[in-house]
Amino acid sequence: MRKWNWLAGMCMLMAMSSYLGCIGIGGGGTGTLVDSDGDGFSDIEERNGIPGSDPNNANDTPANPIDTDGDGCSDYDELNFINFCDNNPQSPGSSPADPDADNLFNLTVARHVGQPFTESGVDEVFASATSLLTQQDNDCPDVVASVTFQRDGSLSTFDIGDPVITRESDLDAIFDEPQDIKIVELLVGVCGVTDPSDMTVVIGCAATGGTAVVAALADPDVWAHEWGHVQGLGHRDDCPRNLMHTFEANTNALNEFERNAFLSPTPGGLAKALVIGGEAKAPMHDLHRGADESVQDWLERIIRRQYLSGIPRDVFANADAATTTMLADMLDDPRHQPYAFNVARALGLCGDASRCSNLTACVTSPTGKAAPAKLAEISEAMLALGRLSAHDESGQTLQWLIDGVDPAAWPALGIAWTYADGRNPSTLLARLSIKALTVAGPNGLSALEEIDRAITSGQLPASLATDVREAIAMFRTADRGIGELKKRYR
């Protein structure tokens, strides 16, 4: 199976959807799930699970896949995908990993030219990631994996798009770079996102059998998590300290299957593609407020932590005015500055449009060179403004975002912050405005269509055309429900 361009493949996917079967992504889709063999698992889940199973054989399921030769690869995967064991389901060409074995990953690393990560910083991350996997976790069932991560050669650079990645096309190009791990400032609203409501800051993205992209602020366990996806692992949410948890960071626990994946050779570059399936459902979590927990204690618990792709959006679905007031106060509290991006996202999820002024200040008031955490705060504040624009009856927030699509509008607002390398952020803010309109609902779509016409007529920079058309395509995808789409894991 080949990696292919998301935008170029969109029309093909829509034409093929009646054959492949569609799934509604998050709350936006209206497609149907096809279960050809009636075993309770959709064809999508069976074909694209790790391990995979035959969608036309009710006795072959993701829960109990057929593995005739006992080599750890299902018969379906060996017959249908390159580089799964020896691709012969009748002979054990590759046996399960020895749990006492050691595995050394010599990984090449590159950074965006606008991101000042250092070789010593990479070495520190690799040392910490190695330590995590070789330690026993006491909070979740865990097995030790004798794995060592090590830098191979010098830290190289690439110059693709902005240091903050907001376009799937730029992410595609970065994945095409040859290094095993690529470092950027941030990823915003990319990495297989197909539902506008899922838009958030992402700190890691990986392709099975391929490479990984990590944000500069990602902790070592996130690097290890993303490399787990490269090794073929999916998400597992039965304990919050699982390394492969859907959204938790600060993790390290593995089960035996996951350990074996880390002790095995990396699947080849044409290995099985990961696509949208059951993970479109929100994972279970313990982030809601406890019965005996004060609002302050609850917010401290939720805000002061790192998430792989933002606080789950259902956490603040029932927030009241007292909650939004406390969140607004946290934005101004120096103790919470390292996690201000979580506060900004939470304010957007609460739906209280009276907090728009707090969020615009997050964007316009910083000065100096913006560190990765500050860029994350600015990005989440922009997305929050997009969400709140649907609740702002005055229309001022929506208009502020529409005006912001023009890069020339930002200097007039007195923007006094820059990227770490000193470059002007006006183009980034224009792109974040487009991302914000993507989460603004029907009014956002109407605005994006008008902006697209303005680009075509030369009233706005042509360099924004890709951003706008990716955003419009996302609305179309969510409306129709696309079943099989290039999916990268976060």
pLDDT tens digit sequence for 202-261: 999 998 888 999 999 999 999 999 999 888 888 888 888 889 888 887 888 998 888 888
**β 156-158/181-184 pair status:** unpaired
Cis before residue 334, ω within 30 degrees of 0?
A: no
Place of tokens 């995979």: 52
**Torsion over CA of 464, 466, 469 and 470, rounded to 10 degrees?**
-120
Residue 11: per-residue pLDDT: 29
What are the backbone angles phi and psi of residue 360, rounded to the nearest 5°? -65, -35
pTM: 0.80
User: Which residue did the predictor score with more confidence, 263 or 268?
Assistant: 263
Residue 487: per-residue pLDDT: 41
Q: What is the mean pLDDT of the chain?
A: 82
CA distance 185 to 428: 12
CA distance 379 to 76: 42
Instruction: Detail the DSSP E strand segments found in 28-123.
Output: 102-107, 109-112
Element (H, E) at 262: helix 256-262
Q: Where are the domains of the chain?
A: 102-268, 295-481
pLDDT digits (tens, 9 = 90+) for 5-25: 222 222 222 222 221 222 122
What are the backbone angles phi and psi of residue 408, rounded to the nearest 5°? -70, -15
Residue 31: per-residue pLDDT: 35
Nearest by Cα to 224 from 238, 240, 239, 203: 203
pLDDT digits (tens, 9 = 90+) for 169-212: 999 999 999 999 999 999 999 987 777 888 899 999 998 888 99
For the cut 80, the answer to whether the pLDDT of residue 340 exceeds it is: yes
Q: How many CB atoms lie within 10 A of CB 280?
A: 17
Can you identify the CATH homologous superfamily of domain 102-268?
A: Collagenase (Catalytic Domain) (3.40.390.10)
165 Ramachandran zone, left/alpha/beta (phi>0; psi -120 to 50): beta
Dihedral (CA of 232, 234, 239, 242) sign? positive
SS3 label, residue 328: helix
SS3 label, residue 274: strand
Q: Is 301 exposed, middle or buried (0-12, 13-18, 19+ CB in 10 A)?
A: middle
Residue 84: per-residue pLDDT: 62
For the cut 70, the answer to whether the pLDDT of residue 115 exceeds it is: yes
Element (H, E) at 181: strand 181-184
CA distance 215 to 219: 9
What are the backbone angles phi and psi of residue 148, rounded to the nearest 5°? -125, 130
Alpha carbon distance, N-terminus to C-terminus of the chain: 20
CA distance 449 to 407: 18
